[in-house]
Structure 1
């Protein structure tokens, strides 16, 4: 009987150590003072995302986004267009899935589906601003639209 109790307590200690080691891998997002300033803005920014070479555009009405884009986001040219397109495709799929589940996800955050076709070349500017909006959205509302931490 003592051997069984000892074996169970060794297993319990091992299980606790396993659980404790798993919880240490979660990465947190640190919000900067500039981001806090952008997130706290109440006046609605309107950002029109369009490309001169294409006829596609997106209009974002989000308080603080334009300020965040100008002051916090990585500059144009930092990311390649293919990187932006790949990330946007992942973000759009996850965003649109949440739009279709208003009982599970806040319908005030996920109001409308985004019609983004990965087979269309929207140009760098559209992809750049859309990607940055997704980063802004995830950081401001503490959401995760993909398998990676939304960083700047």
Structure 2
């Protein structure tokens, strides 16, 4: 049984900067549960342990159903290789942010929830770490 696990984690205290926008997100909420993204039929799972992501999903991200699955898949096909390049180059990019490579195949239908949460993690990371995945 092949089971893919990805953990995207951040070491608290490193690389935290004050948000200059009017949206103040509590990135240090230590009581926040990890976000699990899973597609049981594909035996696919991503666990995101990054303070503030649950809040981002619930309060800032567009609601589920706002984007089509095709839109999310297209965005993830773009973001994943950029993320993986950075994760593979820890001397050039902060290894505390880009800890793991994401095994995302554009030929697999992961379903709406996986694509929605993965897409929103990329948007969250761009905002939190003040970077662009481009």
Structure 1 residue 123 corresponds to structure 2 residue 88: no
Q: Deviations over 1:82-118 (max 9, x none)?
A: 1100111111100000011111111111111000000
Secondary structure of 1:37 counterpart: coil
Count of residue correspondences: 116
Structure 1 residue 113 corresponds to structure 2 residue 107: no
2:130 is aligned to 142
Aligned pairs for 1:92-107 (under 5 A) are 92-107=80-95
More helix as a share of residues:
1
Q: Which of 24, 29, 37 is equivalent to 2:25?
A: 37
Deviation of 1:56 (Å): 1.6
**Where in structure 1 are there 5+ consecutive unaligned residues?**
1-29, 147-152
- CA separation in 1, counterparts of 2:26 and 2:61? 11
2:79 is aligned to 91
1:149 is aligned to none
CA contact (8 A) 2:27 2:51 kept: yes
Deviation of 1:40 (Å): 4.3
- CA separation in 2, counterparts of 1:83 and 1:37? 26
Q: In structure 2, do the counterparts of structure 1 residues 140 and 52 end up closer, same or farther at CA, with 3 Å as the change threshold? A: same
CA contact (8 A) 1:43 1:64 kept: no
**Alignment TM-score, normalising by the size of structure 2:** 0.79
1:12 is aligned to none
CA RMSD of aligned residues (A): 1.9
More strand as a share of residues:
2
**Where in structure 2 are there 5+ consecutive unaligned residues?**
1-19
